[in-house]
Structure 1
Amino acid sequence: MLNRTSRKLRAATVAVLALLVLGGCAQGLGGGAYSRTEARRAMMVQFGTIESVRGVQLEGTKTPIGSVAGAAVGGIAGSGVGGGRGSAVAAVLGAVAGGVAGSALEEGATRTPGVEVTVRLDNGQYLAVVQADGGESFRAGERVRVLRDGGTTRVSR
Protein backbone atom coordinates (compact mmCIF):
# COMPACT_ATOMS: atom_id res chain seq x y z
CA MET A 1 0.00 0.00 0.00
CA LEU A 2 2.81 2.40 0.88
CA ASN A 3 4.56 1.70 -2.45
CA ARG A 4 1.35 2.42 -4.41
CA THR A 5 0.79 5.68 -2.50
CA SER A 6 4.41 6.62 -3.08
CA ARG A 7 4.03 6.12 -6.86
CA LYS A 8 0.88 8.23 -6.91
CA LEU A 9 2.61 10.98 -4.99
CA ARG A 10 5.55 10.95 -7.40
CA ALA A 11 3.22 11.11 -10.43
CA ALA A 12 1.31 14.02 -8.93
CA THR A 13 4.57 15.82 -8.15
CA VAL A 14 5.78 15.39 -11.74
CA ALA A 15 2.48 16.77 -13.10
CA VAL A 16 2.65 19.81 -10.82
CA LEU A 17 6.28 20.44 -11.81
CA ALA A 18 5.26 20.27 -15.48
CA LEU A 19 2.68 23.01 -14.85
CA LEU A 20 5.24 25.17 -13.08
CA VAL A 21 7.74 24.75 -15.92
CA LEU A 22 5.03 25.68 -18.38
CA GLY A 23 4.31 28.87 -16.46
CA GLY A 24 7.99 29.77 -16.64
CA CYS A 25 7.92 29.40 -20.43
CA ALA A 26 5.38 32.16 -20.95
CA GLN A 27 6.81 34.58 -23.49
CA GLY A 28 7.10 38.26 -22.63
CA LEU A 29 4.77 40.54 -24.57
CA GLY A 30 6.07 43.89 -23.35
CA GLY A 31 7.52 46.68 -25.47
CA GLY A 32 11.07 45.46 -24.81
CA ALA A 33 10.47 41.73 -25.48
CA TYR A 34 11.39 40.43 -28.93
CA SER A 35 10.99 36.95 -30.37
CA ARG A 36 13.93 35.30 -32.11
CA THR A 37 12.23 35.75 -35.48
CA GLU A 38 12.13 39.53 -34.99
CA ALA A 39 15.91 39.80 -34.76
CA ARG A 40 17.57 41.41 -37.78
CA ARG A 41 14.21 42.41 -39.29
CA ALA A 42 13.54 46.03 -40.30
CA MET A 43 10.71 47.78 -38.48
CA MET A 44 8.86 50.95 -39.41
CA VAL A 45 9.24 53.60 -36.69
CA GLN A 46 6.68 56.33 -36.05
CA PHE A 47 6.60 58.92 -33.32
CA GLY A 48 3.66 60.18 -31.33
CA THR A 49 2.26 61.35 -28.02
CA ILE A 50 0.46 59.16 -25.52
CA GLU A 51 -3.19 60.11 -25.15
CA SER A 52 -4.16 57.54 -22.51
CA VAL A 53 -2.98 54.43 -20.69
CA ARG A 54 -5.13 51.85 -18.95
CA GLY A 55 -4.38 48.56 -17.27
CA VAL A 56 -5.65 45.33 -18.81
CA GLN A 57 -5.25 41.59 -18.19
CA LEU A 58 -3.61 39.38 -20.83
CA GLU A 59 -5.20 35.95 -20.75
CA GLY A 60 -2.99 33.02 -19.89
CA THR A 61 -1.86 30.21 -22.15
CA LYS A 62 -4.26 27.44 -23.06
CA THR A 63 -2.16 24.49 -24.13
CA PRO A 64 -3.01 20.80 -23.70
CA ILE A 65 -0.31 20.45 -21.05
CA GLY A 66 -2.47 21.82 -18.22
CA SER A 67 -5.40 19.56 -19.13
CA VAL A 68 -3.24 16.46 -19.55
CA ALA A 69 -1.34 17.01 -16.30
CA GLY A 70 -4.59 17.68 -14.43
CA ALA A 71 -6.22 14.59 -15.94
CA ALA A 72 -3.24 12.45 -14.93
CA VAL A 73 -3.32 13.69 -11.35
CA GLY A 74 -7.13 13.39 -11.17
CA GLY A 75 -7.10 9.90 -12.66
CA ILE A 76 -4.44 8.70 -10.24
CA ALA A 77 -6.25 10.24 -7.28
CA GLY A 78 -9.59 8.81 -8.42
CA SER A 79 -8.24 5.32 -8.93
CA GLY A 80 -7.47 5.09 -5.23
CA VAL A 81 -11.17 5.46 -4.37
CA GLY A 82 -13.19 2.28 -3.89
CA GLY A 83 -12.39 -1.02 -5.55
CA GLY A 84 -13.22 -2.90 -8.74
CA ARG A 85 -15.66 -1.01 -10.98
CA GLY A 86 -16.00 1.77 -8.44
CA SER A 87 -12.27 2.42 -8.73
CA ALA A 88 -12.47 2.59 -12.55
CA VAL A 89 -15.43 4.99 -12.47
CA ALA A 90 -13.70 7.17 -9.87
CA ALA A 91 -10.54 7.21 -12.01
CA VAL A 92 -12.48 8.41 -15.07
CA LEU A 93 -14.36 11.05 -13.08
CA GLY A 94 -11.13 12.13 -11.43
CA ALA A 95 -9.41 12.42 -14.82
CA VAL A 96 -12.22 14.58 -16.25
CA ALA A 97 -12.36 16.84 -13.19
CA GLY A 98 -8.57 17.01 -13.07
CA GLY A 99 -8.37 17.94 -16.77
CA VAL A 100 -10.81 20.83 -16.29
CA ALA A 101 -9.02 21.98 -13.15
CA GLY A 102 -5.58 21.66 -14.76
CA SER A 103 -6.64 23.76 -17.74
CA ALA A 104 -8.05 26.47 -15.46
CA LEU A 105 -4.93 26.37 -13.29
CA GLU A 106 -2.64 26.78 -16.30
CA GLU A 107 -4.64 29.72 -17.66
CA GLY A 108 -4.74 31.44 -14.27
CA ALA A 109 -1.06 30.83 -13.51
CA THR A 110 0.10 32.30 -16.83
CA ARG A 111 -2.26 35.32 -16.85
CA THR A 112 -0.28 38.59 -16.78
CA PRO A 113 -0.99 42.29 -16.33
CA GLY A 114 -0.79 44.46 -19.42
CA VAL A 115 -1.42 48.00 -20.64
CA GLU A 116 -3.45 49.48 -23.45
CA VAL A 117 -1.57 52.54 -24.73
CA THR A 118 -3.43 54.96 -27.02
CA VAL A 119 -1.03 57.08 -29.08
CA ARG A 120 -1.75 60.08 -31.30
CA LEU A 121 0.80 59.71 -34.07
CA ASP A 122 2.51 62.79 -35.51
CA ASN A 123 0.46 62.33 -38.71
CA GLY A 124 -2.76 62.80 -36.65
CA GLN A 125 -3.88 59.15 -36.62
CA TYR A 126 -4.71 57.36 -33.38
CA LEU A 127 -3.37 53.92 -32.55
CA ALA A 128 -4.10 51.71 -29.55
CA VAL A 129 -1.56 49.02 -28.67
CA VAL A 130 -2.01 46.33 -26.02
CA GLN A 131 1.20 44.88 -24.60
CA ALA A 132 2.45 43.26 -21.43
CA ASP A 133 3.42 45.58 -18.62
CA GLY A 134 7.14 45.37 -19.26
CA GLY A 135 8.10 47.70 -16.42
CA GLU A 136 7.75 50.87 -18.48
CA SER A 137 5.25 53.21 -16.86
CA PHE A 138 3.78 55.30 -19.67
CA ARG A 139 2.00 58.61 -18.94
CA ALA A 140 -0.37 60.76 -21.00
CA GLY A 141 1.50 63.53 -22.82
CA GLU A 142 4.74 61.52 -23.06
CA ARG A 143 6.54 61.21 -26.44
CA VAL A 144 7.03 57.62 -27.60
CA ARG A 145 8.09 55.49 -30.53
CA VAL A 146 5.72 53.06 -32.23
CA LEU A 147 7.49 50.17 -33.94
CA ARG A 148 5.75 48.01 -36.55
CA ASP A 149 6.85 45.19 -38.80
CA GLY A 150 3.54 44.26 -40.39
CA GLY A 151 2.65 41.70 -37.73
CA THR A 152 3.89 43.08 -34.42
CA THR A 153 3.33 46.58 -33.04
CA ARG A 154 4.89 47.88 -29.83
CA VAL A 155 5.21 51.16 -27.98
CA SER A 156 8.51 52.15 -26.36
CA ARG A 157 10.43 55.22 -25.29
Structure 2
Amino acid sequence: MNMYYRFFIILVALTTLAGCASSGLTGTTYSRSDARKVQTVKYGTIESVTPVTIEGRTDGIVGTGSGAIIGGIAGSTVGGGKGRSIATVVGAVAGGLAGQAAEKKLTTKQGQELTIRLESTGDIISVVQEVENDQFFNPGDRIRLLQHGGNTRVTY
Protein backbone atom coordinates (compact mmCIF):
# COMPACT_ATOMS: atom_id res chain seq x y z
CA MET A 1 0.00 0.00 0.00
CA ASN A 2 1.33 3.43 -0.98
CA MET A 3 2.72 5.49 1.94
CA TYR A 4 0.66 8.55 0.95
CA TYR A 5 -2.51 6.49 0.84
CA ARG A 6 -1.93 5.16 4.39
CA PHE A 7 -1.18 8.66 5.65
CA PHE A 8 -4.38 9.94 4.03
CA ILE A 9 -6.50 7.21 5.66
CA ILE A 10 -5.01 7.92 9.11
CA LEU A 11 -5.62 11.67 8.81
CA VAL A 12 -9.22 11.19 7.70
CA ALA A 13 -9.84 8.87 10.63
CA LEU A 14 -8.30 11.32 13.12
CA THR A 15 -10.27 14.24 11.70
CA THR A 16 -13.50 12.26 11.94
CA LEU A 17 -12.81 11.23 15.53
CA ALA A 18 -11.94 14.79 16.54
CA GLY A 19 -15.23 16.00 15.08
CA CYS A 20 -17.18 13.44 17.09
CA ALA A 21 -15.64 14.46 20.41
CA SER A 22 -18.00 15.96 22.96
CA SER A 23 -18.03 19.72 23.07
CA GLY A 24 -18.58 19.87 26.82
CA LEU A 25 -21.49 22.31 26.59
CA THR A 26 -24.09 20.03 28.22
CA GLY A 27 -25.32 20.36 31.78
CA THR A 28 -23.60 17.16 32.92
CA THR A 29 -20.23 17.39 31.13
CA TYR A 30 -17.31 18.62 33.22
CA SER A 31 -13.73 19.30 32.27
CA ARG A 32 -10.96 17.87 34.40
CA SER A 33 -10.25 21.35 35.79
CA ASP A 34 -13.91 21.68 36.94
CA ALA A 35 -13.61 18.74 39.33
CA ARG A 36 -13.48 19.46 43.06
CA LYS A 37 -14.48 23.11 42.73
CA VAL A 38 -17.24 24.66 44.81
CA GLN A 39 -20.33 25.64 42.84
CA THR A 40 -23.24 27.82 43.89
CA VAL A 41 -26.57 25.99 43.62
CA LYS A 42 -29.85 27.72 42.88
CA TYR A 43 -33.23 26.21 42.11
CA GLY A 44 -35.72 27.33 39.54
CA THR A 45 -38.47 26.40 37.13
CA ILE A 46 -38.24 26.28 33.35
CA GLU A 47 -40.52 28.95 31.88
CA SER A 48 -39.75 28.28 28.19
CA VAL A 49 -37.42 26.32 25.94
CA THR A 50 -36.27 27.49 22.52
CA PRO A 51 -34.22 25.21 20.23
CA VAL A 52 -31.02 26.94 19.04
CA THR A 53 -27.92 26.02 17.07
CA ILE A 54 -24.53 26.29 18.77
CA GLU A 55 -21.99 27.18 16.09
CA GLY A 56 -19.13 24.81 15.45
CA ARG A 57 -15.46 25.56 16.07
CA THR A 58 -13.20 26.94 13.38
CA ASP A 59 -10.17 27.50 15.57
CA GLY A 60 -9.05 23.89 15.77
CA ILE A 61 -5.83 22.77 14.19
CA VAL A 62 -7.21 19.30 13.44
CA GLY A 63 -9.52 20.32 10.59
CA THR A 64 -7.33 23.02 9.09
CA GLY A 65 -4.05 21.17 9.61
CA SER A 66 -5.17 17.78 8.37
CA GLY A 67 -6.98 19.37 5.41
CA ALA A 68 -3.82 21.29 4.46
CA ILE A 69 -1.68 18.15 4.69
CA ILE A 70 -4.11 16.09 2.63
CA GLY A 71 -4.48 18.89 0.08
CA GLY A 72 -0.72 19.32 -0.12
CA ILE A 73 -0.18 15.61 -0.69
CA ALA A 74 -2.90 15.56 -3.35
CA GLY A 75 -1.41 18.64 -5.01
CA SER A 76 2.06 17.15 -5.01
CA THR A 77 0.88 14.36 -7.30
CA VAL A 78 0.02 16.86 -10.06
CA GLY A 79 2.51 17.95 -12.73
CA GLY A 80 6.24 18.22 -12.34
CA GLY A 81 8.90 20.80 -11.49
CA LYS A 82 7.55 24.26 -10.62
CA GLY A 83 4.04 23.16 -11.58
CA ARG A 84 4.16 20.48 -8.92
CA SER A 85 5.34 23.00 -6.29
CA ILE A 86 2.52 25.39 -7.18
CA ALA A 87 -0.04 22.56 -7.15
CA THR A 88 1.24 21.47 -3.72
CA VAL A 89 0.78 24.98 -2.27
CA VAL A 90 -2.64 25.45 -3.87
CA GLY A 91 -3.69 21.99 -2.68
CA ALA A 92 -2.53 22.77 0.87
CA VAL A 93 -4.42 26.08 1.00
CA ALA A 94 -7.60 24.60 -0.51
CA GLY A 95 -7.34 21.58 1.79
CA GLY A 96 -6.89 23.80 4.84
CA LEU A 97 -10.01 25.79 3.98
CA ALA A 98 -12.01 22.64 3.28
CA GLY A 99 -10.78 21.09 6.56
CA GLN A 100 -11.78 24.19 8.52
CA ALA A 101 -15.27 24.13 6.97
CA ALA A 102 -15.59 20.41 7.73
CA GLU A 103 -14.55 20.96 11.35
CA LYS A 104 -17.17 23.70 11.77
CA LYS A 105 -19.88 21.45 10.34
CA LEU A 106 -18.85 18.47 12.48
CA THR A 107 -18.72 20.50 15.72
CA THR A 108 -22.03 22.39 15.27
CA LYS A 109 -24.41 21.23 18.03
CA GLN A 110 -28.11 21.32 18.83
CA GLY A 111 -28.68 23.63 21.78
CA GLN A 112 -31.54 24.95 23.87
CA GLU A 113 -32.16 28.40 25.29
CA LEU A 114 -33.73 27.95 28.70
CA THR A 115 -35.73 30.76 30.29
CA ILE A 116 -35.78 30.10 34.03
CA ARG A 117 -37.62 31.67 36.97
CA LEU A 118 -35.41 31.51 40.08
CA GLU A 119 -37.18 30.28 43.23
CA SER A 120 -35.19 32.45 45.61
CA THR A 121 -35.82 35.84 43.97
CA GLY A 122 -38.43 35.34 41.26
CA ASP A 123 -35.95 36.76 38.74
CA ILE A 124 -36.09 35.41 35.21
CA ILE A 125 -32.79 34.44 33.56
CA SER A 126 -31.76 32.71 30.35
CA VAL A 127 -29.09 30.04 29.83
CA VAL A 128 -28.04 28.39 26.55
CA GLN A 129 -26.53 24.92 26.64
CA GLU A 130 -26.13 21.90 24.39
CA VAL A 131 -28.93 19.33 24.23
CA GLU A 132 -27.79 16.09 25.81
CA ASN A 133 -28.99 12.74 24.38
CA ASP A 134 -31.81 14.51 22.48
CA GLN A 135 -33.41 15.37 25.83
CA PHE A 136 -34.89 18.87 25.91
CA PHE A 137 -36.04 20.45 29.16
CA ASN A 138 -39.77 21.23 29.30
CA PRO A 139 -41.70 24.22 30.66
CA GLY A 140 -42.61 23.52 34.28
CA ASP A 141 -39.52 21.35 34.97
CA ARG A 142 -37.91 22.06 38.36
CA ILE A 143 -34.16 22.41 37.78
CA ARG A 144 -30.87 23.20 39.51
CA LEU A 145 -28.51 25.92 38.35
CA LEU A 146 -24.88 25.17 39.12
CA GLN A 147 -22.68 28.26 38.90
CA HIS A 148 -18.92 28.61 39.10
CA GLY A 149 -16.59 31.24 37.69
CA GLY A 150 -19.04 32.73 35.21
CA ASN A 151 -20.26 29.35 33.94
CA THR A 152 -23.79 28.13 34.63
CA ARG A 153 -25.09 24.59 34.08
CA VAL A 154 -28.72 23.57 34.16
CA THR A 155 -29.50 20.06 35.47
CA TYR A 156 -32.36 18.22 37.12
Q: Do both share a fold (TM > 0.5)?
A: yes
More displaced stretch, 15-24 vs 43-52: 15-24
Does residue 38 of the first structure (1) align with residue 37 of the second (2)?
Answer: no
- Share of identical aligned residues, percent? 44
Query: 1:72 aligns to what?
Result: 69
Match of 1:127 among 125, 128, 132: 125
Question: Structure 2 length as normaliser, TM-score?
Answer: 0.90
Question: Structure 1 length as normaliser, TM-score?
Answer: 0.89
Q: How far apart, in 2, do the equivalents of 1:16 and 1:151 lie? A: 36
Give deviations 1:11-36, integer Å, cap 9, x for gaps. 21122122123124333321111222
Query: 2:139 aligns to what?
Result: 140
Number of aligned residue pairs? 153
Displacement over 6 Å in runs of 4+: none
Say whether the 8 Å CA contact 2:23–2:107 is kept in structure 1: no
Does residue 103 of the first structure (1) align with residue 78 of the second (2)?
Answer: no
Query: 1:153 aligns to what?
Result: 152
Query: 2:81 aligns to what?
Result: 84
More displaced stretch, 121-130 vs 18-27: 18-27
Q: How far apart, in 1, do the equivalents of 2:60 and 2:17 lie? A: 13
More displaced stretch, 67-76 vs 33-42: 33-42
Match of 1:21 among 17, 24, 28: 17
RMSD: 1.6
Q: How far apart, in 2, do the equivalents of 1:110 and 1:95 lie? A: 22
* C-alpha displacement of 1:150: 2.6
Say whether the 8 Å CA contact 2:64–2:100 is kept in structure 1: yes
Query: 2:91 aligns to what?
Result: 94
Match of 1:56 among 48, 52, 58: 52
Q: How far apart, in 1, do the equivalents of 2:132 and 2:56 lie? A: 16
- Structure 2: unaligned runs, 5 residues or longer: none
- Structure 1: unaligned runs, 5 residues or longer: none
What letter is aligned with 1:134? Answer: E
